[in-house]
Structure 1
Amino acid sequence: MARGKILAICQSGGEFITNSDGSMSYSGGEAHAIDINCEMSLSDLRSEISAMFNFNADTFSIKYFLPRNKRTLITISNDKDLQRMVDFHADSDTTDIFVTKKVESRIIRSVVADSGTSTDANTASVATLEEAKRQKLCINWDSMITGVGQVFSSPKAFRDALHKYAIANSFMYRFIKNDGSRVTAECTVEDCPWRIHASRSSAKQKFMIKKMNDIHTCGKELSKESRRLASQRWVASIIKDKLRDTPNYRPKDIAKDLQQEYGLSLNYSQAWRGKFIAKKELHNSHEEAFSQLSWFCERIIETNPGSVATLHTSDDSKFCFFVTFHASLYGFEHGCRPLLFLDGLSLKANKQWKLLAATAVDGQNDIYPVAFCVLDSEASENWHWFLVQLKSAFTLSRAITFVSSSQNGLEELPEVFEDSFHGYSEQQLIENFKKEMDESWTQELKNKMVGHLKRAICACKVDEFNESIENLRIQSKELAEWVLGMEPEFWSDAFFKGLRYGHYSSGAAEIFNDWVSTRYEPSVLQIVDILRCKLMEMMYSRRESSNTWTEVLVPSANQKVQEEMIKARSLSVACSSDSVFEVSDESTNVINIETRECTCRRWQVTGLPCMHALAVLERMNGCIYDYCSKYLMTECYQQAYSLSINPIPDVGGPVCADSFHAATTCPPRTRRLAGRPKEKPAEPRIIIKRAVRCSRCQGLGHNKQTCKAQI
């Protein structure tokens, strides 16, 4: 065989047999041969084995024996383990590897000598059966943690894997450090050296195990403290499926099953609380939400005529609930620029549900929610349904510019809004850009590179865009090429065909999470009604505020024009015709008053005359307001907030009034949120202080010890 290459005999479908001398042999099944070299990765090996035996790549483990050692099976969990196996068998032409399904039982039967069956062998067999029964559900958890270099998607994913690993390996641990960037844990037994540390890898922003001492000197035996591993939510997640099929699943049976299957000792109250949480999660199911929302749809349309409220269900009992109120829909079509941001977000108050939102920007550049949809996943078909409902709700036909992250609904837009323009979110682009910079970059240099990218996004002319790209190329050719490969026609003003009016991403996630910030988990109905109340208050407060404005332009636009007017007074203007002018500063720009265009392109992009156009208008004694976008006028802003969202009485409806009332008046006990409360608790009673009277002179305000009166 070539150096660094061995012939592996892959065996599957048989079982391991323990011989009388303690060694193991493999019996039965089928075998195939495969070449393995030092350059092969574990994923490639898994792919070949899955095709060979027709297995799913995630449902089997790969094991082998060390040379001259048939007592211990070694598991191949990563590329380093595979390389070690090749190195260990470098002097052999062939080696045996064993493919075992993860769901298979690991019962090892004992082979007895010819002299007869021994009692010890039977006892060992019974013990093995008991151990197999305990590992019925957690058979794969002992390999959840494989060692240094293992990568997890998030700190939570690592903590979940560590929790299962501890249960499967029968030991307790405690956290030394535990936050969003690093997690360190150690065995709770004093002097036991077991310890693990994981943190973020700055290169790929993934969570990775950096250090691990996988040696226990404590015996790894779960004591009565093992109940600490079984948190209420963990117990609920384990028993939820069984509770759905067996509603009368008793707490003592739950404790008994967890003892047999996981080796955990739970008391009655722990099992009861786990069942309570599981029942609560099952109770707040799609069926209950559907019964609440179907009633709420009718109430929205009844109290707010012209609004659109649609409830869509699928065969698997999932649903999508779409809402746009007539006041916000009318305000967008008559008072806001034709610009919509599409966002998919998870609410912090209740992460079970997702929110799809279409938000606009008013004349003051504040966020203006137009429509939203509550559902359980951001699947492509849900995005498509949301966009179809949004289009059918519009009453005016106009080209709309959409801004969205590339993975959140953007691919569905051309199918629904054929004549509109579609752009990428600046925020998403910058986040992806930062991930391309590894830990060798200093924070100062990272900020500088992000600044170049932002200038490329806001560049109005191709020359400005190319200058920003060249600044990136000076530091890194790879990053510059990456930016050019991200299709600048979707995110740079220099190439973008639509109009974003200087807005490149939305703050929908922040505003919706601020609105639905509660200390208990709200139901779907409560989420929708909280949003309705916040929208109702927003429409009223902004309408009242704008009624006091006296300028033609909204305050923010008026201030911007005044600032540009100061710059315009120093510019030189030359007339070419009645509508075409030449303005010179550091460069020469051509302005066409009739078409409202300037070669600097800032007039077209923002909707406000640039300083070059203002210089021309001042020379012509023209009215500035005639050349501003109508969406920046006070009158148009007031029209956006001219209608009101009407209240909806008796939210909860006849179907769910009792459950809603219980949730709102007596919210379930939850963990106290971190941080100091924003408001001090109310004083329980009014305290009236009695004035101090002196016993010597009978005067007020002092006592006899400090009395200075002459007696």
Structure 2
Amino acid sequence: MEDSLMCVISFNSNATLIKVNSTTIFAELKMIVAENFRESYESLLISYSIEKFPNVSFELSKDEDILNMIDYHRSMGLNTVTMTVTKRDEGPTHAIGTETELSVPNVSTQSSEHIEEPYERITIEESERIPNDNPQGEHVWMMNDVVSDSSRIPAWWHEAITGKGQQFESAKEVRMALIYYSIAKKFAFNYVNNEPKRIRASCMFRKETKCPWLLFASPLRNVSTFAIKKFVPQHTCGQHNSTAGHFRASRRWIASMLQSVMKRRPYITPTDIRKELHSQYGLRVNYSKAWRAKETAKDQIFGCARHSYDLLSWYQMKVMETNPGSVFTIEQEDTRFKRLFVSYGACIQGFLKGCRPLLFLDGTFLKDRYKGILLGATAYDGNQGIFPLAFSVCDQENEANWSWFIQGLRYILYNRTEPYNPPHPLVILSDADKGIKQSLKNIFPDAYHSRCVLHLVENYKLKLREMGFASSAAQRISKLLEFAAYKYTEREFKAVLHQIRMTDQRAYQVALSYGPSNWANSVFPGIRYGHITSNVAESFNSWIRVARTLPICDMMDHIRVQIMERMNTRRVMATNWNSYLCPEAEKILQENVTKGSTLEVSHSTAEIFEVSSQKSVQVDLDHKTCTCRAWDILRIPCKHACAAINFMHREMCTSFAIGS
């Protein structure tokens, strides 16, 4: 699923629309907002609100805030977010005759070691400025400042070429230094000689204007070190401008600039590279050059993407050697890679011994040079955390690939010396069909398949719009369908469906056509433990966001390390637990115990109780059921069950929870 959000950003009586995604940089977003509303970058504060907490504002101040905002809204199935822009209190104004400092936001980590501060400072003499009309006494730049602004260029670029006698390790270093120097000094040059042992460069306009600028470098005698033998630094051509020399910013040169950035942000897009080069150094490059530079930098850091496929057999052998019990299968077609299936031994054992029989299936796009799809099967651990079980890499999401992947799941669960015997039949949730439904019928005939309610509601809303419903009406009816899916009892479920029927008979018929037994809590034949969405699968896709941009071997090893670190972190956490239940289950149980402490309980038989709250319900401790169906669905004693258990013996609550 695409992770972009449409932001409705308001400031006073004005508003604008901006799309953000997981690669959006906060400083870049703030700069766009400042430009749209024509306000000072430093004076703006950006915040957003969510429906669940309408009176709380969440401030955006860094890149991580944007990622958290996107993850939350996507997990709730939302495509838009409302932001508010306010102005911070202005500090004291500068008195005339003093120095003024202007800050230019740095949207990316500099590759130069000479710049450590997050902002590049420019000192402007007051005598060179003219006062502004605004009452705060601010000052504006003169036109010469804008034309000759070199504040974004690191100081060492200006000193990349110092003069005659300067030495370099190789001819390549000379060429790189020339590029830095020409961009910093804003002039263009041509190579008169560009050879392994002789480099001669002159001003591009030497013939037309007799410009004397010249550089000649060659190796020193009997050594490979290059030295500048002749250097004329003066220009008389008058051809300086803000983009002079930019064409010398080659793919390899940009790749060298990107390496430090891509080690931290391998998911950066060519569009973002173009924006950052411009905002950081004033460089203008086209999209194709940015894309080629990114691929070159990725190859330099992680190795060739094509060669990575050649290493799969070696990686398979190492996984089987170092991870006993793992399943790693590679399928080829005419000696070419077709698809693979991976499930690490620790993941298999962890799922069989510590997870409920519940799996979430989803696919996500890979973003390396050869693209492809990653199919994943994810579960919840005992403390409601992500637990990856298996994943597959293939060319596209279709019935053939899903069937192959699900066959792999069948193998790791049931083709064992100790067959998988869960307390309840296996339940598998997915966001859409795409071949999953039929594959499950063929391969897991005894398992239950459930659709993700959020995706179903989104499809329902689109269907209503196609039928001619207004947007507001489609939204309202879709919310009713989602509300019905969460109901525990069939009576409550039918009551909500009746509201849809009273609103429009056509909408009611469409809701029934989706098959409520596949998505509604009250009529679902299996046990989903309260989970009716595939959010955990989408969380896994977001969790491996960086890995998805890497070559295939690096991607798999990145995921392996992530799983290893997560398991170790949880192992350390578990050593500090002093209760029978995991903290999340213990928290729910304690809340139900507290809520049930005020309820009236009547003893019917040895194991059956009648509990009175807003309405009376019947609790059967022998069969571990309650007519409110919360215990049946969540498999944790509900407040009525806790009240009945407390009526008999307070300490029995935990034992009944463990037995669930």
The alignment's TM-score, normalised by the length of structure 2, stands at 0.51
1:352 correspondence with 2:371: yes
**Structure 1 counterpart of 2:583:** 555
Structure 2 counterpart of 1:417, from 444, 459, 463: 444
Q: For residues 270 and 596 of structure 1, what CA distance do their matches in structure 2 show?
A: 62
- Asked if the contact 1:286–1:318 (Cα under 8 Å) also holds between the matched residues in 2, the reply is no
Name the aligned partner's letter for residue 449 of structure 2.
H
Q: For residues 471 and 270 of structure 1, what CA distance do their matches in structure 2 show?
A: 52
Change (3 A) 1:299 1:446: same
- Asked if the contact 1:367–1:506 (Cα under 8 Å) also holds between the matched residues in 2, the reply is no
1:405 correspondence with 2:431: yes
Q: CA RMSD in A?
A: 3.6
**Structure 1 counterpart of 2:201:** none
**Structure 2 counterpart of 1:707:** none
Structure 1 counterpart of 2:390, from 349, 371, 379: 371
C-alpha offsets along residues 41-95 of structure 1, whole Å, 9 cap, x if unaligned? Answer: xxxxxxxxxxxxxxxxxxxxxxxxxxxxxxxxxxxxxxxxxxxxxxxxxxxxxxx
Name the aligned partner's letter for residue 508 of structure 1.
A
Deviation at 1:605, TM superposition (A): 0.6
Q: For residues 582 and 464 of structure 1, what CA distance do their matches in structure 2 show?
A: 20
1:568 correspondence with 2:596: yes
Change (3 A) 1:467 1:297: same
Q: For residues 274 and 343 of structure 1, what CA distance do their matches in structure 2 show?
A: 29
- Asked if the contact 1:286–1:317 (Cα under 8 Å) also holds between the matched residues in 2, the reply is no
Name the aligned partner's letter for residue 490 of structure 2.
V
1:526-541 matched pairs, under 5 angstroms: 526-541=554-569
Structure 2 counterpart of 1:488, from 505, 516, 541: 516
- Asked if the contact 2:360–2:429 (Cα under 8 Å) also holds between the matched residues in 1, the reply is yes
Query: How many residue pairs end up in the alignment?
Result: 372
- Asked if the contact 1:328–1:369 (Cα under 8 Å) also holds between the matched residues in 2, the reply is yes
Change (3 A) 1:334 1:294: same
Q: For residues 625 and 288 of structure 2, what CA distance do their matches in structure 1 show?
A: 71
- Asked if the contact 1:349–1:517 (Cα under 8 Å) also holds between the matched residues in 2, the reply is no
**Structure 2 counterpart of 1:647:** none
C-alpha offsets along residues 350-391 of structure 1, whole Å, 9 cap, x if unaligned? Answer: 680211100001122222111111112112111111111111
Q: For residues 597 and 561 of structure 2, what CA distance do their matches in structure 1 show?
A: 48
**Structure 2 counterpart of 1:589:** 617
Change (3 A) 1:271 1:450: closer
**Structure 2 counterpart of 1:338:** 357
Name the aligned partner's letter for residue 433 of structure 1.
Y
**Structure 2 counterpart of 1:214:** none
Q: For residues 424 and 455 of structure 1, what CA distance do their matches in structure 2 show?
A: 15
Change (3 A) 1:350 1:417: farther
Structure 2 counterpart of 1:508, from 515, 537, 541: 537
Deviation at 1:349, TM superposition (A): 6.1
Q: For residues 524 and 355 of structure 2, what CA distance do their matches in structure 1 show?
A: 20
C-alpha offsets along residues 430-489 of structure 1, whole Å, 9 cap, x if unaligned? Answer: 22022134396455x655434322221122221111111122233333222211110011
Q: For residues 180 and 564 of structure 1, what CA distance do their matches in structure 2 show?
A: 40
1:672-691 matched pairs, under 5 angstroms: none
SS at match of 2:336: coil
Q: For residues 275 and 359 of structure 1, what CA distance do their matches in structure 2 show?
A: 35
Q: For residues 271 and 430 of structure 1, what CA distance do their matches in structure 2 show?
A: 39
Q: Identity of counterpart residues, as a percentage? A: 28
1:285-324 matched pairs, under 5 angstroms: 288-315=307-334, 317-324=336-343
1:154-165 matched pairs, under 5 angstroms: none
1:386 correspondence with 2:415: no
SS at match of 1:310: strand
**Structure 1 counterpart of 2:463:** 436
Deviation at 1:515, TM superposition (A): 2.8
Q: For residues 571 and 518 of structure 2, what CA distance do their matches in structure 1 show?
A: 35
Name the aligned partner's letter for residue 411 of structure 2.
S
1:460 correspondence with 2:472: no
User: Structure 1 unaligned runs (5+)?
Assistant: 1-153, 157-175, 182-204, 206-227, 233-268, 632-711
- Asked if the contact 2:428–2:450 (Cα under 8 Å) also holds between the matched residues in 1, the reply is yes
1:473 correspondence with 2:496: no
C-alpha offsets along residues 585-610 of structure 1, whole Å, 9 cap, x if unaligned? Answer: 23232221111111221111101111
Q: For residues 277 and 551 of structure 1, what CA distance do their matches in structure 2 show?
A: 50
- Asked if the contact 2:367–2:549 (Cα under 8 Å) also holds between the matched residues in 1, the reply is no
- Asked if the contact 1:404–1:424 (Cα under 8 Å) also holds between the matched residues in 2, the reply is yes
Deviation at 1:274, TM superposition (A): 9.4
Name the aligned partner's letter for residue 318 of structure 2.
R
Change (3 A) 1:492 1:327: same
Deviation at 1:271, TM superposition (A): 10
Name the aligned partner's letter for residue 561 of structure 1.
L
Q: For residues 498 and 313 of structure 2, what CA distance do their matches in structure 1 show?
A: 56
Q: For residues 599 and 294 of structure 2, what CA distance do their matches in structure 1 show?
A: 70
C-alpha offsets along residues 249-300 of structure 1, whole Å, 9 cap, x if unaligned? Answer: xxxxxxxxxxxxxxxxxxxx99999999999999999974542111111111
SS at match of 1:368: strand
Structure with the bigger RCO (C-alpha within 8 Å, sep 6+) is 1
C-alpha offsets along residues 496-516 of structure 1, whole Å, 9 cap, x if unaligned? Answer: 111110112233234333433
- Asked if the contact 1:324–1:370 (Cα under 8 Å) also holds between the matched residues in 2, the reply is yes
- Asked if the contact 1:308–1:326 (Cα under 8 Å) also holds between the matched residues in 2, the reply is yes
Q: For residues 270 and 377 of structure 1, what CA distance do their matches in structure 2 show?
A: 27
Change (3 A) 1:278 1:579: closer
Deviation at 1:307, TM superposition (A): 1.0
User: Structure 2 unaligned runs (5+)?
Assistant: 5-15, 22-78, 80-246, 252-285
1:497 correspondence with 2:516: no
Change (3 A) 1:425 1:275: closer
Change (3 A) 1:629 1:419: farther
Q: For residues 373 and 446 of structure 1, what CA distance do their matches in structure 2 show?
A: 37
Q: For residues 288 and 614 of structure 1, what CA distance do their matches in structure 2 show?
A: 60
Name the aligned partner's letter for residue 353 of structure 1.
G
The alignment's TM-score, normalised by the length of structure 1, stands at 0.48
Q: For residues 291 and 600 of structure 2, what CA distance do their matches in structure 1 show?
A: 77
Change (3 A) 1:446 1:553: farther
Q: For residues 621 and 274 of structure 1, what CA distance do their matches in structure 2 show?
A: 68
Q: For residues 368 and 503 of structure 2, what CA distance do their matches in structure 1 show?
A: 42
